[in-house]
């Protein structure tokens, strides 16, 4: 089996068990497969044959609607520059003049593009405009049309639900672990007289910001694989400052050496600050997440107050603690 079909076989093994052999058939677009060590029902065999046929057909197709835009997007992201114009013909029929959100997927292992395309096309089968583009060997962007809800909170909830759904599907059907960030819906391209503005800088800048934030969030909250980037607005603001400005801010909250000395020697205290912030200063929730008694939590909160002169039970001090911890993590040696 080549690498593509080996990944298909691994996905089937993750879902059904057993050992699988999968490959292209003699007839155009057909597939052959064999499974050892398991017993399948007739319904399962028919479903597997149908899915493999669809995957094979998708792989054989050399041109898809939006391919031009996908190729442009991959080249632009790889360049690291945002001053790219989009070829006009590549936007035809994509619906990108409407508001849409996007989801950044980073897989832990290499995943064949057509497999993910087929999987997500089935997941978003009820959507008119959904586009999946590979931007690096282990990274994808999913463009999703905005919900018609006028409530911002509802739109954000839906984007996060989609991101969580993608993570679950990748894990359950392909055995793939991934890290996923969602961006709020927005009108990324302006339209005038029926034509869509071809300036791609706004979208590219948002993708670059999402990738940078993703690397940081993976270190900040490694145990949670799915997030909405709108939950990290303070982090984005701080990361937009120069390194010198960040150090100056941290020194104003207390000498940088103090933060490094205290938290580097006491990872438990760093975890307590982080979980306290994530729990919105709710002692019951924080105690549950930390697996400690409430009295132990109160002792640690008082220790934080003593060490930094900031009381985590006061809103103003809590905000300063959040900023201080972000700056410490950014400059942690």
Domain spans of the chain, in order of start? 3-60, 67-231, 241-330
Q: Do residues 143 and 66 lie in contact, with contact meaning Cβ atoms separated by under 8 Å? A: no
What would the mean pLDDT of 180-186 be, rounded to a whole number? 90
What would the mean pLDDT of 220-229 be, rounded to a whole number? 88
Higher pLDDT, 131 or 164: 164
In three-state secondary structure terms, 285 is helix
**Range ranked top by mean pLDDT from 148-162, 238-252, 281-295:** 281-295
**In angstroms, rounded to a whole number, what is the distance separating the alpha carbons of residues 28 and 198?**
38
**In angstroms, rounded to a whole number, what is the distance separating the alpha carbons of residues 223 and 217?**
10
% residues pLDDT > 70 (the chain): 83
Q: Tell me the pLDDT tens digit for each residue of 117-149.
A: 778 878 887 766 678 888 988 899 998 877 666
On the question of pLDDT at 59 being above 80, the answer is no
On the question of pLDDT at 278 being above 80, the answer is yes
Give residue 89's pLDDT. Answer: 61
Instruction: Give the containing element (helix H, strand E) for 320.
Output: helix 315-330
Higher pLDDT, 19 or 312: 312
Q: Can you identify the CATH homologous superfamily of domain 67-231? A: Reverse transcriptase/Diguanylate cyclase domain (3.30.70.270)
On the question of pLDDT at 2 being above 70, the answer is no
Mean pLDDT computed over every residue of the chain: 81
What would the mean pLDDT of 221-234 be, rounded to a whole number? 89
Q: Could you tell me the pLDDT band of residue 293, with boundaries at 50, 70 and 90?
A: very high
Give residue 160's pLDDT. Answer: 93
Q: Could you tell me the pLDDT band of residue 302, with boundaries at 50, 70 and 90?
A: very high
Give residue 164's pLDDT. Answer: 95
**In angstroms, rounded to a whole number, what is the distance separating the alpha carbons of residues 254 and 305?**
13
**In angstroms, rounded to a whole number, what is the distance separating the alpha carbons of residues 31 and 53?**
6
Structure tokens at 65: 């609607």
**In angstroms, rounded to a whole number, what is the distance separating the alpha carbons of residues 232 and 156?**
13
Q: Which has the minimum average pLDDT: 21-30, 122-131, 273-282, 305-314?
A: 21-30
Q: Tell me the pLDDT tens digit for each residue of 15-36.
A: 788 888 887 654 545 677 788 8
Greatest Cα-to-Cα distance within the chain, rounded to the nearest angstrom: 74
Give residue 31's pLDDT. Answer: 73
- Hunting for tokens 């398991």 — which residue is that? 38
**Number of H-type helices and E-type strands within the chain:** 13, 9
Which of these CATH numbers, 3.40.50.720, 2.40.30.10, 1.10.10.2840, 3.20.20.450, describes 241-330? 1.10.10.2840
**Range ranked top by mean pLDDT from 1-5, 144-148, 231-235:** 231-235
**In angstroms, rounded to a whole number, what is the distance separating the alpha carbons of residues 37 and 329?**
48
On the question of pLDDT at 186 being above 50, the answer is yes
**In angstroms, rounded to a whole number, what is the distance separating the alpha carbons of residues 200 and 188?**
8
Give residue 192's pLDDT. Answer: 56
Closest CA to 155 of 186, 130, 129, 188: 186
What would the mean pLDDT of 314-333 be, rounded to a whole number? 85
Give residue 162's pLDDT. Answer: 92
Domain 67-231 and domain 241-330, same fold? Reply is no
Secondary-structure breakdown of the chain: helix, strand, coil percentages, each rounded to the nearest 5: 55, 15, 30
Integer angstrom CA distances of residue 36 from 19, 64, 73, 227: 5, 35, 41, 39
Give residue 179's pLDDT. Answer: 94
Q: Which has the minimum average pLDDT: 87-91, 283-287, 324-328?
A: 87-91
Distance between alpha carbon 38 and the CA centroid of its chain, in Å? 34
Give residue 61's pLDDT. Answer: 42
**In angstroms, rounded to a whole number, what is the distance separating the alpha carbons of residues 303 and 198?**
55
């Amino acid at each position: 089996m080549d690498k593509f079909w080996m990944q298909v076989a691994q996905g089937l093994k993750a879902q059904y068990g057993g050992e699988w052999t999968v490959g292209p058939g003699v007839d155009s677009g057909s597939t052959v497969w064999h499974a050892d060590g398991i017993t399948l029902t007739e319904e399962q065999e028919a479903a597997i044959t149908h899915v493999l046929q669809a995957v094979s057909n998708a792989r054989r197709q050399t041109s898809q609607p939006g391919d031009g835009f996908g190729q442009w997007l991959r080249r632009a992201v790889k360049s690291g520059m945002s001053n790219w114009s989009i070829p006009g013909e590549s936007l035809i029929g994509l619906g990108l003049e409407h508001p849409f959100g996007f989801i950044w997927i980073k897989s832990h292992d290499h995943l064949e593009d057509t497999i993910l395309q087929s999987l997500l096309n089935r997941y978003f089968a009820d959507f008119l405009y959904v586009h999946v583009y590979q931007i690096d060997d282990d990274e994808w962007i999913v463009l999703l049309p905005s919900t018609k809800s006028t409530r911002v909170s509802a739109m954000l909830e839906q984007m996060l639900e989609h991101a969580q759904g993608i993570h679950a599907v990748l894990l359950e059907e392909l055995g793939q672990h991934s890290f996923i960030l969602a961006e709020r819906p927005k009108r990324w391209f302006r339209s005038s007289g029926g034509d869509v503005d071809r300036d791609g800088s706004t979208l590219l800048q948002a993708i670059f910001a999402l990738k940078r934030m993703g690397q940081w969030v993976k270190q900040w909250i490694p145990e949670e694989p799915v997030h909405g980037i709108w939950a990290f607005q303070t982090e984005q603001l701080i990361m937009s400052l120069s390194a010198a400005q960040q150090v100056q801010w941290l020194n104003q909250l207390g000498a940088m050496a103090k933060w490094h000395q205290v938290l580097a020697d006491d990872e438990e205290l760093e975890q307590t600050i982080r979980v306290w912030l994530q729990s919105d200063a709710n002692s019951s929730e924080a105690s549950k997440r930390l697996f400690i008694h409430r009295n132990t939590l109160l002792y640690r909160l008082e220790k934080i107050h003593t060490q930094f002169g900031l009381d985590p039970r006061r809103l103003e001090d809590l905000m300063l603690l959040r900023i201080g911890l972000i700056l410490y993590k950014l400059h942690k040696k």
